[in-house]
A and B are shown apart, each in its own frame.
Chain A
Amino acid sequence: SQTIHQWPATLVQPVGSPLSLECTVEGTSNPNLYWYRQAAGRGLQLLFYSVGIGQISSEVPQNLSASRPQDRQFILSSKKLLLSDSGFYLCAWSPERALNTGELFFGEGSRLTVL
């Protein structure tokens, strides 16, 4: 069966510090991968989308970047965090050939607080 792992689960970082959140998917190959952010009491905002290694689409201009160094690994990074980067970051995946099913499988999320 397929599983998705995200870490760290929580972190508190000072403004201006770097960030690295990691997500890995097991039990499938060539998944579509997503990074979403959810601010407190808000909806989910799509940040990045990837259909393959090294292929990243950015949805909104921001202080963050994403990379996909391996087929089932997706990394969210920042060189210098801003207060506004605080939020709940969710990684998700969908099967390679299931783009039209509307179904994403989410990880448990990483809660980031920038102070």
Chain B
Amino acid sequence: GQSLEQPSEVTAVEGAIVQINCTYQTSGFYGLSWYQQHDGGAPTFLSYNALDGLEETGRFSSFLSRSDSYGYLLLQELQMKDSASYFCAPMRGSTLGRLYFGRGTQLTVWP
């Protein structure tokens, strides 16, 4: 089975740093992906963590703690274009390749 928790909404101003948390309960957990989706658009891949620690990709970083069943996406130097929904999606070892998304976090960046 699986349960997933993310904040439903987060707001921040341009230039700020925001952290979007994800707590999961996933049997046979293998890794955690993050996706961004703008209104009306398709989700796009941001990052993936299979091991504990921080993965950095430009302004975005993702962190995973397998022992705490917890991860977060860190967005730095926020820009207006970062306003979007962000989804964490755990993957199970028994069903590799299949991602199970939560309801996502709506990020609004204000000028």
Q: How many residues of B contact A (CB 8 A)?
A: 23
A108 x B97 contact (CB < 8 A)? no
> Is B48 engaged at the interface, CB distance under 8 Å to the other chain?
yes
With A94-B97, A108-B42 known as contacts, the answer to whether A102 contacts B104 (CB < 8 A) is no
Q: How far is the CA of A42 from the CA of B98 in the complex (A)?
A: 18
Q: How far is the CA of A46 from the CA of B95 in the complex (A)?
A: 12
B89 x A102 contact (CB < 8 A)? yes
With A43-B103, A49-B97 known as contacts, the answer to whether A100 contacts B45 (CB < 8 A) is no
A109 x B101 contact (CB < 8 A)? no
**Which of B41, B44, B91, B101 has the largest count of A CB atoms less than 10 A from its CB?**
B101
- A residues less than 8 Å from B91 (CB atoms): 100, 102
Q: How far is the CA of A51 from the CA of B31 in the complex (A)?
A: 20
> Which A residues contact B (CB, under 8 angstroms)?
32, 34, 36, 41-46, 49, 51, 59, 90, 94, 98-109
